């Protein structure tokens, strides 16, 4: 079965296994590396050491993903074993090699995306604290769709620029700045001269003056 796979995938993309070599302190090469669970919660302090650790983590996922696309002179047997054990997949002889390789690539991409998101959040909190932002979680939600890029070395670009633009638009996100209270809109003056114009107050007619005017007119007629 192995020889058949070697013939059918002789021209397949190979890996540089230097990325997957095990240090002497780890278990023997024949045993798969023990699975490690992700940390239960993120540290509360976002200092430079923690951000650097996340950068290295994100860069490691990119290195593994690129390793799937590099060439190597290693045999197909060692290639399959090293690649799939790296991502916790046991080679299945009943499945096509390309299908299993695509599965490993997909898992690596998902892991890289999660690491990048975690790294960007840490950068927003770290830089936001320097800029005096009181709620970095809200700031992250407001700028996560901006052009934030994770480089090959794990550094994030665009965070400071995005936060500064956000503070210019919403300065109340910074400590010591109170949000402006909304003011009631003023009603426009629609008064038009003339008592009979629509919208104007109609003056009440004085019945006493009107009766006196009629009396004067009758008196003139009698004369």
Convert the pLDDT of each residue in 83-104 to its tens digit. Answer: 667 766 666 665 666 777 777 7
The helix or strand, by DSSP H or E, that contains position 114, with its residue range, turns out to be helix 97-131
What is the pLDDT at residue 99? 76
**Residue 62 dihedral angles phi and psi, to the nearest 5°:** -65, -35
What is the pLDDT at residue 168? 92
What is the pLDDT at residue 161? 92
Nearest-angstrom CA–CA distance, 64 and 56: 12
What is the pLDDT at residue 167? 92
Contacts of residue 7, Cβ cutoff 8 Å, sequence gap at least 6: none
The helix or strand, by DSSP H or E, that contains position 150, with its residue range, turns out to be strand 149-150
**Which regions of the chain are under pLDDT 70?**
1-47, 65-81, 83-84, 87-97, 176-212, 215, 218-223
pTM beyond 0.85: the answer is: no
């Amino acid at each position: 079965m192995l020889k058949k796979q070697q013939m059918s995938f002789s021209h397949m993309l190979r890996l540089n296994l230097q990325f997957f070599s095990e240090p002497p302190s780890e278990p023997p090469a024949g045993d798969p590396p023990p699975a490690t669970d992700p940390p239960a919660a993120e540290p509360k302090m976002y200092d430079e050491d923690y951000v650097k650790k996340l950068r290295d983590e994100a860069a490691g996922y990119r290195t593994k993903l690129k390793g799937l696309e590099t060439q190597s002179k290693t045999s197909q047997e060692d290639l399959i074993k090293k690649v799939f054990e790296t991502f916790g997949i046991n080679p299945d002889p009943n499945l096509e090699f390309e299908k299993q390789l695509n599965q490993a690539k997909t898992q690596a991409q998902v892991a890289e995306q999660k690491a990048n998101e975690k790294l960007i959040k840490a950068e927003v909190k770290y830089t936001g604290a320097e800029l005096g932002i009181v709620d970095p979680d809200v700031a992250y939600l407001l700028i996560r769709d901006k052009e934030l890029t994770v480089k090959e070395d794990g550094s994030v670009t665009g965070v400071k620029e995005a936060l500064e633009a956000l503070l210019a638009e919403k300065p109340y996100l910074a400590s010591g700045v109170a949000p402006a209270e909304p003011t009631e809109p003023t009603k426009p003056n629609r008064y038009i001269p003339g008592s009979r114009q629509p919208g104007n107050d109609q003056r009440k007619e004085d019945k006493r003056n009107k009766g006196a005017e009629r009396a004067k007119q009758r008196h003139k007629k009698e004369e």
